[in-house]
Amino acid sequence: MGHHVVILGGSYGGIAAMRRLSRHPEIQVTLIDQHPYHYLQTEGYELISSNTSFDETIVSLPALCANYENVTFKHRTVQAIDPKQKVILLTDGEESYDVLIIAVGSVTKRFDCDENVYHYSSGAKSLRGAVKLQQFFQKELYKRLESEKEANENFNIIIGGAGLSGVEIAAGMQHFFNRYYRSNALSCATLHIHLIASRDTVLNGMHPTIIKTASKRLKKLRVILHTQCRIAALAAHEAILTNDTHIPFDFMIFAGGTTSAPCLENLEVEKNKKGQIIVDAYLRCKTYSHIYVIGDSAALLDKKSKALPPTAQTAIQSGEVAASNIIRSLKHKTLKKADIKIKGLAIALGGKYAAIDLGKIRFSGYTAYLIKKLIERLYKWPLWWLVSKGFRKIEACTI
């Protein structure tokens, strides 16, 4: 096995793998991402609900990579992978590799609707989608503040999907609006957030205590929950649900299904229904042992072969396992089987309120919120520190 490792995708999984490989100067690492930043999706709910600005939710990839002598960052979009030739096809040119790590995540499924209607929708998985939604939200609030005519018009947002991200966004936006309404009531009619759950509860599959806490909180905030239905069709400013309910809407957020990143579509390897690549116990693609797949791009399993949900923590753990196995195979050591676990879940529920599930202990409220914030900062702050160090290095080289 050669020493050039290419990592596709510089997010939770790709960065974890890159940082581990960077400790081995004999390995040359190239990190490729279509953006010059790592978007902190786990803080997306704060951005969407106007509680933070976009620069608080990104980490610069060129500055981060500048800290490591053996790491090169390339700001390029991957078009396709040719595993037989061991070549990546980029927008302009190619990149060859000895070992490949695929960490391109997943994308929100596009809802089948007219282009004009699609304009009033966005997904929560990209910075672009989150910023589009935040700007729309802010613009609508401002419009109502300035205009006599608009002041009494209601404002409807539909969120399709009541999993972790849908619930966090609904609670965050509604909380922000409730606070705004209390100080500007005369200039704004009501915001209605409709959360659409295909099952009979929100957060399907999570512990009943967490489901109960989240449902109670959403009700208190006045989020309108529609259960056991899906969005059947979207027309101009109206959504039709499968139970034939018609809801007027100003904006729609897809927080439901995801599918594989477009650059993996033509890669002929075994995939599951969600388009995730099936991996072996060492996180290698079954067809090509020189390709590791991590994070949301992989069909990750726990020790009991149960499918793991796509999360940042599983992406990070899988990135570390893949990097360790690459190092082990270079040293001709036996590979280590992945033992990826969900260590706990922290769910933001609007304002200074969250719910935490640590497996044996579950709690909610302000303490849970503080812990959620601490988890976010313990991830982000060391990266930001590295970014400022890397930036100084880049600056010193250019003077």
Ligand X SMILES: Cc1cc2nc3c(=O)[nH]c(=O)nc-3n(C[C@H](O)[C@H](O)[C@H](O)COP(=O)(O)OP(=O)(O)OC[C@H]3O[C@@H](n4cnc5c(N)ncnc54)[C@H](O)[C@@H]3O)c2cc1C
Nearer to ligand X, 28 or 49 (CB): 49
Tell me which residue has tokens 């208190």.
220
Least separation in angstroms between residue 150's CB and ligand X is 29
Least distance (Å) between residue 34 CB and ligand X:
4
> How far, in Å, CA of 7 to CA of 397, rounded?
25
Q: For residue 128, what are the contacts with CB-CB under 8 A and spacing of at least 6?
A: none
Report the residue number, 124 or 323, with the smaller CB distance to ligand X. Answer: 124
How far is it, in rounded angstroms, from Cα 281 to Cα 147?
A: 60
Strand, coil or helix: 240: strand
The conformation of residue 168, written as its DSSP 8-state character, comes to: H
Residues in the chain: 399
Q: Minimal distance in Å, beta carbon 316 to ligand X?
A: 8
| Alpha carbon of residue 259 to chain centroid | 13
State which residue, 105 or 160, has the beta carbon closest to ligand X.
Answer: 105
Q: Closest CB to ligand X among 80 and 189? A: 80
Report the nearest approach of ligand X to the CB of residue 251 (Å): 16
Residue (78 or 247) nearer to ligand X, CB: 78
Measure the CA–CA gap between 189 and 200, rounded to whole angstroms.
30
CB 57 to ligand X: min, Å = 10
Q: Which amino acid is at 55?
A: D
- Is the distance from CB of 41 to CB of 21 less than 8 angstroms? no
Q: How far is the CB of 298 from ligand X (least distance, A)?
A: 8
Say if CB 364 and CB 209 are below 8 A apart: no
Helix axes 312-330, 12-21, angle to 10 degrees: 30
Q: For the CB of residue 328, give the shortest distance to ligand X in the complex, in Å.
A: 22
Using the minimum distance from each CB to ligand X, give the nearer residue, 151 or 257.
257
Backbone angles phi, psi at 263, to 5 degrees: -70, -10
Nearer to ligand X, 62 or 295 (CB): 295
Q: What is the largest CA-CA distance in the chain?
A: 73
**Residue 170 contacts residue 253 (beta carbons within 8 Å):** no
Q: Which chain residues interact with ligand X by CB under 6 A? A: 8-14, 32-35, 38, 41-42, 44-45, 77-78, 103-105, 124-125, 164-165, 168, 261, 263, 295-296, 310-313, 315, 346
Min CB(147)–ligand X separation in Å? 31
Among residues 21 and 188, whose Cβ is nearest to ligand X?
21
Is the Cα dihedral 214, 215, 221, 223 positive or negative?
positive
